[in-house]
Amino acid sequence: MNRYLIAPSILTADFGRLKDQIQEADTAGPLIWHLDVMDGHFVPPLSFGTEIIKTVAKATDNLIEVHAMVAHPTEHFDSFTEAGASRLIFHYEAAMEAPNLGGPGLGETVLRARETGSEVGIAINPGTRIDEIEELLPEIQQVTVMLIRPGWGGQQMNPELLDKVKQLREISTRLNLLLNIEVDGGIKPNNAKLCIDAGANILVAGSAIFNQDSTPQQNLAEMKKSSPNLE
């Protein structure tokens, strides 16, 4: 059985008191830390790198996943894992482009992520179809379906993209896979249940958890209230 969990993204957290913010959120119950690494190439912004992953790892016992929005994912797998990540999520689109940049192809990217001992996730942009990744599903532990264009927190989700979540859940049930289906982008208490009903079991939430309005604990509680399946 897949667990239903919130995965807070720290993009809009207060980095001046990051350790405290992590520990405050951790008091709200089980969760997954979703760390958005951006390289200024795969997506225009730069976010943060391994030092922040290490800071989070020191502050929490919860699982850390890295969402690598980077053009050369394989070059960073070892440093992400050494910094404390135990799930590596790379973008399908980056892996498809990598051979043109002198890097390995898609299958090899999956293998190299797995070689670190981490769980492996593939993230797909709004324009990528499920059939493009279908044959890899038995090889990986997670698919992260982007409900926004990656690169920025605080955007509105496109609910039509939840059709891809439905397709994934149908394939995963048919093939009897223990696949996590994560959704990322624009998830709030008022649409969390929509994502779960479509078949998602991990909900990334950035600005819904870290904002000026309330504490991370209160925001996590609010999100859980909206969807009874969430732990």
Q: Which of the ranges 24-32, 78-86, 135-143, 202-210 carries the binding residues for ligand DX5, by CB under 6 A?
A: 202-210
Closest residue (Cβ) to ligand DX5?
206
Cβ-based nearer residue to Zn ion, 93 or 184: 184
Count Cα neighbours of 33 within 13 Å in the Cβ-side half-sphere: 29
Report the site for Zn ion in 14-43 (rule: CB under 5 A). 36
Cβ-based nearer residue to ligand DX5, 135 or 223: 223
Residue of the chain from 73, 103, 206, 216 that contacts ligand DX5 (CB under 6 A): 206
To ligand DX5, the closest distance from the beta carbon of 149 in angstroms equals 8
Which of 212, 175, 180, 209 lies closest to 195 in space, CA to CA? 180
**Could you give the string, one character per residue 147-186, with x where binding to ligand DX5 holds by CB under 6 A and - elsewhere?**
---xxxxxx----------------------------xxx
Residue 138: contacted member of ligand DX5, Zn ion, none (CB under 5 to 8 Å, by partner type): none
Residue 60: contacted member of ligand DX5, Zn ion, none (CB under 5 to 8 Å, by partner type): none
Clarify whether 131 is annotated catalytic: no
Clarify whether 36 is annotated catalytic: yes
Q: Which helix (H) or strand (E) holds 109?
A: helix 106-115
To ligand DX5, the closest distance from the beta carbon of 187 in angstroms equals 6
Give the orientation angle of helix 50-59 with respect to helix 18-26, to 10 degrees. 40
Which of 206, 204, 216 lies closest to 21 in space, CA to CA? 216
Phi-psi region of 46 (alpha: psi -120 to 50; beta: other; left: phi over 0): beta
List the helix and strand counts (H, then E) for the chain. Answer: 8, 8
- The strand pairing partners of 34, in sequence order, are 9, 65
Q: Which helix (H) or strand (E) holds 142?
A: strand 142-146
Looking at the annotation, which residues are catalytic? 36, 184
Binding site for ligand DX5 (CB under 6 A): 9, 11, 34, 36, 67, 150-155, 184-187, 204-208
